[in-house]
């Protein structure tokens, strides 16, 4: 139903020119202070899109975001100590 999405961190040198990154995918966030943008795009066309973005004169570096691969289900093997601190 939904296509697989991959996130990329795009470091740029010109903020005004970087606003045009939204034509390469879903522009999630742009930082003026640190000069980076978070961009999500389809996984099947991401390699071609990244190659095209690297040719842009204002793009310095492109990094893949590993946020989707981080484990978000946690196990608690430590006993709950809050019952010992009752009033």
Please tell us whether the domain made up of 5-69 is placed in CATH 3.30.70.80: yes
Looking at per-residue pLDDT, the higher value among 78 and 33 belongs to 33
Here the tokens at position 34 are 């640190």
The yes-or-no verdict on residue 87 having pLDDT over 60 is: no
Domain map (residue ranges) of the chain: 5-69
Length of the chain: 87
Q: Is the pTM of this model over 0.85?
A: no
Q: CA end-to-end span of the chain, whole Å?
A: 53
Helix (H, G, I), strand (E, B) or coil at 34: coil
Average pLDDT over residues 61-68: 90
């Amino acid at each position: 139903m939904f296509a697989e999405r991959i996130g990329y961190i795009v470091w740029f040198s010109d903020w005004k020119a970087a606003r045009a990154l939204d034509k390469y995918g879903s522009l999630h966030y742009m930082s003026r202070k640190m000069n980076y943008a978070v961009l999500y795009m389809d996984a099947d066309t991401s390699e071609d899109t990244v190659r095209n973005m690297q040719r842009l004169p204002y793009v310095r570096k492109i990094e893949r975001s590993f946020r989707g691969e981080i484990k978000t289900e946690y196990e608690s093997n430590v006993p709950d100590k809050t019952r010992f601190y009752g009033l």
